[in-house]
Structure 1
């Protein structure tokens, strides 16, 4: 076995994610850079890491009859999950190879006894029938085990959206996410950029949601010369609908209250003209994230209209004059449940209590910035989640507390075939294959 093989690497990353709360994408990127695997091995390691996280509850359900109540070391659990994932979901790898490699890893990371235990579990599993998940009851448990989403979350979404819509969403979140970018229209056009990127990304195409978005089936879009030159930035298609919702004018003075890492900030900045007074003040609680905003703005050539500073948005009223902004964006901290396709571990880290605590923070930010908006100014509230508590529930509470605001339809740059929640705009992952996103727009009367 090579010094670093893709299966061992995957087991180590999965163990770190499970025990230290590491983000899978960051841990994987760091390990791939450090170990410099061949492309084929890097692809397998990536597949194993994301596949196991995406299907974790399903894999554990398959393992349960054989592991029973035995408490496993985290790395042994991760190793068994990778083996079962390969057996069930990867049909090009022979079972013999999976057994042999898994046993070698068990002996290398543990001892002979662990190797024998892992082999016994896998052989017993192979001799048994794969359980029929369609017969599981109640429906929330079937959805949970089939699509590997915690049962409490499956039940909540089924209650709010219906069982059919919830299942349609879950069917998409374990599929590979497309790569998407936002064109910096101050430097190039979507057509020119698509033509320039086509040789390296032959699947590059226009977004179905936004005229400034391009989409590719895969590839490292952040590794090109055009990216380094600031011709585009990486951003999900659904989040590209946020800036247009503000109905920006060249001279608008904008507050982006929760701005890091700056994707929406720089999208706003593209529509502003410093010569006419246009500028966006971008806030974030953490100084290191403020530096990310500044770096993104500089790379895109938009630093002259972006003013980033560290500040808790709930204290914005202590630092800015009342009615001093034409537009305000609150892209609020949220559960991130709309990101389960790109960040599969998010489904396991959230708890029901989060859906009580987060709306309190979201409403506090809205209440703090509302007085800073000019009369006839526009305020946008957005989240990357799909649950009513953080979306329509927050909107209702905000409007009840602020009779001088009225909700209006969310402007979009091109018609959308799928949209929910009017006058707000809710997108679900199964609508366009994007992140789940919510946008609501208000005007101060």
Structure 2
């Protein structure tokens, strides 16, 4: 079934806004769909995926689009749609446009310059090549420039993984267990989850396998007092609450009321009653100070560049800069310092990011240890063995899309000395 010619026009309009990089691409796309309610599900899918394909391949597509006729935005839209649906699915092409797309399809991508093959901004490409070498950087960028599968977490309070897999199979959805997270399920395609009773009843929740592992290494136990310091929309909060078997007290703090509001419907589905969401003004809010020295475990999923999530958020690589990363570093250190005050003796502190950059990861962890003699690093290999997670790591958790098929994550585990 071919796409209606109007889809390319809609994608042109979306790209005009998205490529300004004034805000997150998914927000821009969602707003466009609200303004155009008559667009059907298939057309919406093509427009959204087409926009993300252009963002993933911006450097090479911009170069390809310099040839051909018509407007630049039209050519970019056609490249995006050809990427996600195939040239044969595009209706309304002129002979010239069809010939041009066929010529582009025959280009040997391996012959392109490094920057165009990686489709990364120069500052980031240079950093990654210095860090890991050209070959590893190309392998990483290739993984980052592919759409991510859909990962689900089974709510252990309501179901077992094998039962959830059987339920998905009954619904005609292909799925498999994730290799590392014990409650994870990977779905290659993206079904409409809201139509599946298991999702509506809170038996499954959307969460990347890497994110599930971050929650697991916190090792939250029954009856403990636990804080998710930068809870956001609460994916890790829900995983922590289930690990605590709905006992103890779990505080979900965030500076964004809008982000925390997204936790409410998820919390209602989950069946958890031990979660206490709270909006805080900053990391030294009185709500935080009241808990000083009382908490068993704290997870700091720090605000970061998000460069490990480019499979899902390809616009992040074009929106971040070296300066914006430097600003985040100061914020990350301040949040970690503040969160550390909450821990009682023997308590566990997990610092995590979805970044690939050492200055947001190892550098922050090292600086924290240098400043806090009352904390020690717990080597990640010990934490993973304790949690029976079959991953080989040294001091830190470093998940990479091309190696582990997860988003890019970093984590360090600290313990307050007794």
Tell me, yes or no, whether TM beats 0.5: yes
How far off its partner does 1:87 sit? 6.4
CA distance in structure 2 between the partners assigned to 1:426 and 1:250 by the alignment: 28
Structure 1 residues 43 and 94, CA gap change in structure 2 (3 angstroms): closer
How far off its partner does 1:204 sit? 0.8
Residue 270 of structure 1: aligned partner: 242
How far off its partner does 1:175 sit? 1.8
Residues 89-125 of structure 1, C-alpha deviations (whole Å, 9 max, x = no match): 865438995337xxxxxxxxxxxxxxxxxx7x99889
Structure with max Cα Rg: 1
1:324 aligns with 2:321: no
Q: Compute the TM-score of the two structures, normalised by the length of structure 2.
A: 0.88
How far off its partner does 1:292 sit? 2.0
- Structure 2 gaps of 5+ residues are none
Match of 1:374 among 336, 344, 365: 344
SS at structure 2 position matched to 1:315: coil
SS at structure 1 position matched to 2:340: helix
Match of 1:243 among 215, 225, 233: 215
Residue 198 of structure 2: aligned partner: 226
CA distance in structure 1 between the partners assigned to 2:251 and 2:355 by the alignment: 25
Residue 183 of structure 1: aligned partner: 154
1:440 aligns with 2:409: no
Match of 1:203 among 159, 174, 179: 174
Residues 411-430 of structure 1, C-alpha deviations (whole Å, 9 max, x = no match): 3444435x55x211001111
Alignment of 1:25-174 (within 5 A): 25-29=26-30, 31=32, 34-38=36-40, 40-64=42-66, 76-85=71-80, 92-93=87-88, 97-99=92-94, 134=110, 142-174=113-145
CA distance in structure 1 between the partners assigned to 2:315 and 2:189 by the alignment: 20
Residues 44-68 of structure 1, C-alpha deviations (whole Å, 9 max, x = no match): 334422221111111112234679x
Structure 1 residues 441 and 85, CA gap change in structure 2 (3 angstroms): same
How far off its partner does 1:83 sit? 2.7
**Any conservation in 1 of the 2:227–2:297 contact (CA below 8 Å)?**
yes
SS at structure 1 position matched to 2:19: helix
Q: Compute the TM-score of the two structures, normalised by the length of structure 1.
A: 0.83
CA distance in structure 2 between the partners assigned to 1:340 and 1:383 by the alignment: 13
Structure 1 residues 320 and 363, CA gap change in structure 2 (3 angstroms): same
- Structure 1 gaps of 5+ residues are 101-118, 137-141
- Root mean square deviation, CA, Å: 3.0
Match of 2:303 among 328, 333, 337: 333
Residues 168-216 of structure 1, C-alpha deviations (whole Å, 9 max, x = no match): 1111122221111111110111111111111334321111121111111
CA distance in structure 1 between the partners assigned to 2:197 and 2:108 by the alignment: 49
CA distance in structure 2 between the partners assigned to 1:347 and 1:162 by the alignment: 19
**Any conservation in 2 of the 1:87–1:98 contact (CA below 8 Å)?**
no
How far off its partner does 1:431 sit? 1.4
Structure 1 residues 323 and 354, CA gap change in structure 2 (3 angstroms): same
CA distance in structure 2 between the partners assigned to 1:129 and 1:173 by the alignment: 21
CA distance in structure 1 between the partners assigned to 2:389 and 2:246 by the alignment: 30
Structure 1 residues 19 and 88, CA gap change in structure 2 (3 angstroms): closer
CA distance in structure 2 between the partners assigned to 1:403 and 1:365 by the alignment: 17
**Any conservation in 2 of the 1:5–1:41 contact (CA below 8 Å)?**
no
SS at structure 2 position matched to 1:265: helix
Match of 1:398 among 357, 368, 384: 368
1:384 aligns with 2:346: no
Residue 164 of structure 2: aligned partner: 193
Structure 1 residues 5 and 334, CA gap change in structure 2 (3 angstroms): same
How far off its partner does 1:327 sit? 0.3
**Any conservation in 1 of the 2:151–2:209 contact (CA below 8 Å)?**
yes
**Any conservation in 2 of the 1:337–1:436 contact (CA below 8 Å)?**
yes
1:416 aligns with 2:390: yes
SS at structure 2 position matched to 1:356: helix
**Any conservation in 1 of the 2:46–2:85 contact (CA below 8 Å)?**
no
